[in-house]
Amino acid sequence: MPKRTLKLGNGWIAALLACIAVVILTLTASSTGLTWDEPNYIAAAKSYAGWFGVLVTRPATAFRPEVINQFWDSNHEHPPVDKVWLGLVWSAARHVFNDLTAVRLGNILLVGLLIALVYLWIAEMYGRGAGLFAAGALMAMPRFFFHAHLAALDVPVSVGIFGTTFLFWKTADRKEWWWGLILGLAWGLAEGMKLNATFLPIGLALWFLLFRRRWYLALRFVMMGAVAVLTFVLAWPWLYYHTWSRIWDYYKFHSDHYKIGQWYFGHYYVPPPWHFVFVMLWAVVPLTLLALAVIGAARAGWGRKDKGSAWLLVISAIVPLLPFVVAKSLAYDGDRLFMPTFPFLACLAGVGFGWLIGLLRKWFESIKRPAILAPAGFLLAGLLFLPQVVTMIGLYPHLLSYYSEGVGGLPGATRMQLETTYWCETYAAAIPYINAHAQPGDKIWVEPYSYDVMIYYQLIGRLRPDVEILHNTPGAQSLFGPSAPQPVYGEFIRADWILYEYRQTQIQEFGGLMLMLPDFLQNMDPPAFEISYQGVPIMKLYHR
């Protein structure tokens, strides 16, 4: 009998890649340090999940104004869709995983979906090798890999933007009217994750004008916008009462957002210059992948061979950057606000890799060795991934300190006076030392407004409950409610322990007594504990 060979379709391969990504991220979720914004979203996610409990048990009660206010007031500055998803997944996953992994699992599942969509788009248009490389490229971007773990909003809105763009691409030549409804639902859910998705139609409309000037697509945009607005409002119970005033508050929060600056080339900017986003992409996207993305963009040509697919990827990679370039929006906390660009760069890298594979195919066919193509392709992919993977292993889990070969890695970025790290993810590394050496009642100073990170560690049992967390804001209370440990007001000069992360922005941002902190630390004993990479300090723990 002839041997049967198992051939997997693209759908099965996409599902397998999604599962692999979810497993990797789940296994590493607990070791990835909690970040500054996560406590806000964790508290809100659990509160929203509580409302759904009321909705199931007492549906008539759930929609009363006082109940809406009770459960949906938490973090109402940002839309709820991702936090609802996080809370519902956490409600089930907490019975299987530790609390930090459980509350992050919802976003990890979304990343699995994103990996599948990246593969499907590129594999169907440019070949399986290109699709596999694109999916691997996204996971091999150290900054994206870090953010992919978090219970934050930047990667979920990236999934929403990419998913809507993918759906638009797949249906651009379909004339059925209901695709406008489905796209509107997708865009509305993406907007319900974070404000970034508002700019999504700019890229789609530009591509429409260049490649598909058809009447049914023009009507689709109108229907898409109407359905998106309706979806956005319906998905947010906070807007069911005082609708217009709360929408106005939402707009004002983002238009008048409190100032968060950025340390950039040795200066503190609010906001950074227009070129900040481009320099940061050069600095944090692995050089091999960025070069391949440029090749992929160059392959777009006139858009005839791939019906404009590569052009849609190029436009979609640029649009998320425009608010920070054109409108001088506040770009703060490094690269996180333009995470939506990363999946499209990974896709373009896949297109570039597909072009290289095409060159190899022609060469091996010319020497009559076509069977060598597959192993040669795997070897080439491995070599292209090798530099960043080696760095990721050495730096893990502190991947917010990753800088590419284009700037000389972290030492080169330090010489250029770019920010070493941000978002206080390094605090987790100091906790075992504090647990082992702190005395009961010791006071631990951390960066202003990051005290809830340490309080969450106390709530889940990773940090001893008998130490106190100092903060410099009178009257501040924990996001986790009155039953949680509360921060204690006091400056670093009152602390028994000082947890200092090398986020250069913090000194300039908070000013006042904070300006004295570097000199104060210089006069103390050497740090009791520290983490560094290639001679560059990332975090130091001082004991007085």
Tell me what pLDDT residue 379 has. 96
44 secondary structure, DSSP code: H
Torsion sign over Cα 533, 534, 537, 540: positive
Kindly state the percentage of the chain with pLDDT values over 90. 84
Q: Would you call 498 helix, strand, or coil by DSSP?
A: strand
User: What is the pTM (predicted TM-score) of this model?
Assistant: 0.96
Q: Are 435 and 428 spatial neighbours (Cβ–Cβ below 8 Å)?
A: no
- Mean of all residue pLDDT scores within the chain: 94
Round to the nearest angstrom and report the end-to-end CA distance of the chain: 78
471 band by pLDDT with thresholds 50, 70 and 90: confident
Over residues 434-455, the mean pLDDT reads: 95
Q: Is the pLDDT of residue 536 over 50?
A: yes
Q: In what helix (H) or strand (E) does residue 269 lie, and over which residues does it extend?
A: strand 267-269
pLDDT value for 328: 63
d(CA 539, CA 434): 14
> Which pLDDT value is given to residue 7?
72
How far is it, in rounded angstroms, from Cα 90 to Cα 87? 5
**Nearest to 137, CA basis, from 9, 291, 312:** 291
Kindly indicate the confidence band of residue 1, based on its pLDDT and cuts at 50, 70 and 90.
very low
Q: State both tokens at 309.
A: 């697919």
How far apart CA 174 and CA 219 sit, in angstroms, is 13
Lowest-confidence region among 137-146, 152-161, 300-309: 300-309
Q: What is the pLDDT of residues 364-411, one digit of tens each?
A: 888 888 889 899 999 999 999 999 999 999 999 999 999 999 999 999
Contact 74, 47 (CB under 8 A): yes
Highest mean pLDDT among 3-17, 207-221, 251-265: 207-221
pLDDT, one tens digit per residue, over 406-426 is 999 999 999 999 999 999 999
Q: What is the pLDDT of residue 238?
A: 97
What pLDDT band is residue 5 in, cutting at 50, 70 and 90?
Answer: low
- Confidence at residue 3, expressed as pLDDT on a 0 to 100 scale: 54
Residue in the block written with tokens 């069911």 = 240
Tell how strand 488-489 and strand 468-471 pair up: parallel
Segments making up each domain of the chain, as ranges: 10-344, 427-543
Residues 324-357 have pLDDT tens digits of: 888 666 667 889 999 999 999 999 999 999 999 9
Spell out the residues 6+ positions from residue 536 whose beta carbon is closer than 8 angstroms to its own.
401, 410, 411, 414, 420, 502
Say if residue 301's pLDDT is above 90.
no
DSSP 3-18: PP-----HHHHHHHHH
Query: Which of 365-374, 450-459, 505-514 is the least confident region?
Result: 505-514
- Cα(495)–Cα(198) distance, integer angstroms: 44
- Residue 53's contacts (CB-CB under 8 Å, 6 or more residues apart) are none
Q: Is the pLDDT of residue 294 over 90?
A: yes
Q: Which residue has the tokens 């530009």?
A: 206
Q: Position of tokens 């999504």?
A: 200
Q: 4 pLDDT exceeds 60?
A: no
